[in-house]
Amino acid sequence: MRLTFIFILFLTILFPVMAQEDFYAPGKIHEIHIRFKEHNWRHLLDSLFTTYGDNGRLIGDVTIDAHLCPNAAIRYKGFSSYNANEIKNPFNIDLDYIRKNQNHQGYVKIKLSNVIHDPSFVREVLSYEIARQYIPSSGANFANLYVNDTLIGLYTNVEAVDENFTDKRYGSHTNSFFKGEPVKLQYPFGQNANLALTHGADSSGYMPYYNMQSDAGWNDLFNFIIRLDQGADSAESILNIDRALWMHAFNEVTLNLDSYIGYSQNYYLYRDDHGRFNPILWDMNMSFGSFRESDGSTNFQGATIPKIKRLDPLALMTFAVSPRPLMTKLFSNDTLRKIYFAHMRTIVNENFRNGWYFTRATELQSQIDAAVLNDTNRFYSYADFHSNLTVTVGGTGSMKEYPGLKDLMEARMAYLDTLNGFYGQPVITGLTHVPAVPVKNQPCWITARIQGATMAYLGYRFSTDGIFSRISMADDGLHHDSLAGDGIYGAMLTVKGHTIQYYIYAGNDKAAVLSPERAEYEFYTIQPAILPGDVVLNEFHAGTTQENWLELLNTTTEPINMAGMHLSDDPANPVKWVLPDTMIMAKKYMVFYPDGEPSGRKAASSIAISNAGGRLLFFNATGILLDSVTYGIQVTGKSTGRYPNGYGVMTYMLPSMGRYNRFGTTPGSGFLLYPNPARGQTNIEFTQNSSPAMVTVYNSMGQQALENTSLYGTGLIGPVLHPVDISTLKSGLYMVRVSCNGETTIKKLMIY
């Protein structure tokens, strides 16, 4: 039977093609309805928020885009955005507060901001969209909120930074987790959550300034504060420094001062599995200069719009109303300070200098235009909504004016361009590596042409969740860099693992540059040679045309690009079908279907899987045989797959396409093998009624070690035990094959 194959990823197998769009897809406007039994719900929420703060909740039914979530817990939220005299207050909705595991598309907390400090309505959504390019950040869009069928208004809908957030971004949720949120905000002179070692020699002194989100962790936070106080070198092992630099760069460029910069609040810290705290942005409803009550420096009692346009990104190095060690300790290091400026330059060039931010803000306003017009509880006029994209709007007094995004950012760019360190950086081009396909435990040389540099280093790691290490790059003619002093820099790595991820830093006495510019958040990837056992032929099924499929499994902990690998059914023609340029994720499956399944797809070529038996071969891009299967007559209703999953021998099984192979025994020939390991003698006990079965023992080379023996299975009076003499066999691993009624089961036997 001739088969032409196309691929689908494992996730496509598990989830329908018409999967739901993510709840926080950019630009989406949701419809959220809350229904309270109490008619005086507004008075009750005010009372609960005033008396109990975050701990006071009212129960109501919540419907999100027609999806009902009954008995959710609802409260007001916010500090400056909440006002008991207003109708449109910000909401916090806990879907699982009473009904455990209740969620909407996997999300259990819904955070709705009332846009009180943003006439343009786009500051928060636009800010998160920019931030997500450089640091793990929340999704954000919009929602029309109704309470008891009455429209309250258009809100920004921002993904909560909670256990779901850290699971997705950091792969865990049980580690130490804090929010920079003082019990009582101290201003303008207060310390707040500034991470300074100023509250004594015990963690208890810091508890009023940070809100612990995890079950434990105060000692971890206190130790981090101590190490940060000692400087960047001391903090490096317990702080993701590059994430901190990106956060500061984002806040300074977008003038998001209601953050660590201003009153030292509105951020999270999550300790990853490497023991490093990662800063996470939060609460950007007052970005783009809406918050000006403090800049943490000389304008600690408030800044005008003209002053923030020229806010010095290093102002806190010379004067701070309270310590800011997460900035000053990092910026004291010359290399880190230059990376900070390089990150600011990247954000400016990729979002502002090219006008993207204004185009995107205009698109967002167009999407929500009708909703803003219908929002009778909005805090500004419909005319202000449009005008604030370009010019200042708002009431009297500097703190009530909201700068126009375009006016603000054009002035901000012009000022940043004048700063030492913002320009004069080296230029990195011509990145190469040798060999083209590196081999594990062998050298790999990475080189680049760098103009205008006095030093360069290579940041690298050998796993996607690892920490980048650094090694100097040299232009001395000894590092695969051609001639000394020719501007080509090189460094050598000894390949480990199944991936190489790297970036390059280059600096001089003026400025620095990274390649890629979004490093360390983005990086270059080299895939070492795929070796036998990395990707295996894990299972296949041969029946009618509509039932045929072949499954590959990535057994490694890294994604693998399948480009250039090939399948064949003929050893004389190994390159019979070349796999497409696609990724198979770590520990995941890739399934190939015959032509026309699913319909509408075009196939690349053909191979054959025959019901009568045959052979399948799988090669890497360099022609090395990765896996091969010689198979016999196929059984109707069964597939042939590896058991144990991923590495075991091929045996008949119930089809488990795109899933873990859990069962390798088949009806009619199931048996127990014991003792195992054994010496001298082992026993075979049939566990089901069967016809005569043929038992054969093979050594690890696939050679027959004992002659075929005919045994009988269970009878009416119970199982039948058959001793097998293995005294003539040497110590080692053997395979015991039992065939009955056209079905075969294979089990491992260890002889010692």
For each of the domains in the chain, give its residue range(s) and CATH number, in order of start.
Answer: 2-10+530-653 (2.60.40.1260), 21-159 (no CATH), 174-352 (no CATH), 427-526 (2.60.40.10), 671-751 (2.60.40.1930)
Per-residue pLDDT band at 544 (split at 50, 70, 90)? low
Query: CA-to-CA distance for 16 and 24, rounded, in angstroms?
Result: 19
Residues in contact with 365: Cβ distance below 8 Å, sequence separation at least 6, in sequence order: 120, 121, 122, 372, 385, 386, 389
Maximum CA extent, the chain? 99
Question: Which of 401, 430, 539 lies closest to 489 in space, CA to CA?
Answer: 430
Q: Which residue has the tokens 């795109």?
A: 658
Tokens standing for residue 411: 């002035």
Query: CA-to-CA distance for 278 and 260, rounded, in angstroms?
Result: 14
Supply the angle between the helices 405-416 and 356-374 in degrees, to the nearest 10: 160
68-116, pLDDT tens digit by residue? 999 999 999 988 889 989 999 999 999 999 999 999 999 999 999 999 9
pLDDT of residue 714: 45
175-229, pLDDT tens digit by residue? 999 999 999 998 888 899 999 999 999 999 999 999 999 999 999 999 999 999 9
pLDDT of residue 289: 97
pLDDT of residue 125: 98
Q: Would residue 577 be called left, alpha or beta, if left means φ above 0 and alpha means ψ between -120 and 50 degrees?
A: beta
pLDDT of residue 4: 40
Query: CA-to-CA distance for 319 and 332, rounded, in angstroms?
Result: 14
Query: CA-to-CA distance for 67 and 18, rounded, in angstroms?
Result: 17
* Residue 292: count of CB within 10 angstroms of its CB: 24
Tokens standing for residue 555: 């057994």
Q: Which residue has the tokens 């690009």?
A: 561
pLDDT of residue 670: 61
Positive or negative, the CA dihedral 621, 626, 632, 634 is negative
Above pLDDT 70, what percent of the chain?
90
Q: Which residue has the tokens 């050598």?
A: 492
Q: Which residue has the tokens 């007559």?
A: 633
Q: In 3-state terms, the chain is what percent helix, strand and coil (to 5)?
A: 20, 35, 45
The DSSP call for residue 718 is B
pLDDT of residue 558: 94
Per-residue pLDDT band at 610 (split at 50, 70, 90)? confident
pLDDT of residue 600: 36
Mean pLDDT of the chain: 89
Beta strand residue intervals within 414-533, DSSP E: 427-434, 443-451, 455-461, 469-472, 488-494, 500-507, 512-515, 524-526
Phi, psi of 409 (to 5 degrees): -75, -30
Query: CA-to-CA distance for 691 and 740, rounded, in angstroms?
Result: 7
Residue 525 in this model has a pLDDT that exceeds 60 = yes
Per-residue pLDDT band at 119 (split at 50, 70, 90)? very high
Residues 14 and 658: beta-carbon distance below 8 Å: yes
Query: CA-to-CA distance for 548 and 251, rounded, in angstroms?
Result: 55
Question: Which of 738, 735, 722, 733 lies closest to 681 in space, CA to CA?
Answer: 722
Label residue 307 exposed, middle or buried (CB < 10 Å: 0-12, 13-18, 19+).
Answer: middle
Query: CA-to-CA distance for 565 and 589, rounded, in angstroms?
Result: 15
Query: CA-to-CA distance for 177 and 187, rounded, in angstroms?
Result: 25
416-450, pLDDT tens digit by residue? 999 999 999 999 999 999 999 999 999 999 999 99
CA quadruple 562, 565, 568, 570: dihedral, nearest 10: -170
Three-class secondary structure of residue 243 per DSSP: helix
